[in-house]
A = this chain, B = another copy of it.
Amino acid sequence: MMSVTDLVPGAERDNVSCCTPSGAHPMSAERAASLASRFRALADPNRLRLVSIISASEGSEACVCDLTEPLGLGQPTVSHHLKVLVDAGILHREKRGVWAYFSLVPGALDHLAGVLAEPQSKLAAADS
């Protein structure tokens, strides 16, 4: 990935009185939206708990029937949260018979971790 330094143009204000614009550019709107949508999937306590349970389960997979009870939520709500996580590319869904098994997408959380990791947050990187 590139470093945070690839900011957008159009901001070359020679405002002497204030701070140093440094030609500052945000990351592209597309990348920001893409990352934000994935962080939004993790921005709910119950979804974090779902990921926690799934990653702790043997084989790192669990079905809906295992997830409704420890969270104290209804089955439709759990199913909704799982869909959000699947749509975000964080969970993988595999239907075996009547049951739907959910597992972590390998590297999905790692990739987000890499985005946040130093040096000084590669938030402006170009990939994914």
**A42 and chain B: residue at smallest CB distance:** B39
* Distance between A9 CB and nearest chain B CB, rounded to angstroms: 9
A45 contact from B6, B29, B61, B101, Cβ within 8 A: B29
How many residues on the A side are at the interface (Cβ–Cβ under 8 A)?
69
**A124 and chain B: residue at smallest CB distance:** B52
A56 interface contact, C-beta 8 A = yes
Determine the distance from Cα of A22 to Cα of B113 in the docked complex, in whole angstroms.
27
A→B interface (CB under 8 Å): 3-8, 10-11, 13, 15, 18-22, 24-27, 29, 32-33, 35-37, 39-40, 42-53, 55-58, 60-63, 65-67, 69-71, 99, 101, 104, 109-110, 112-118, 120-121, 123-124
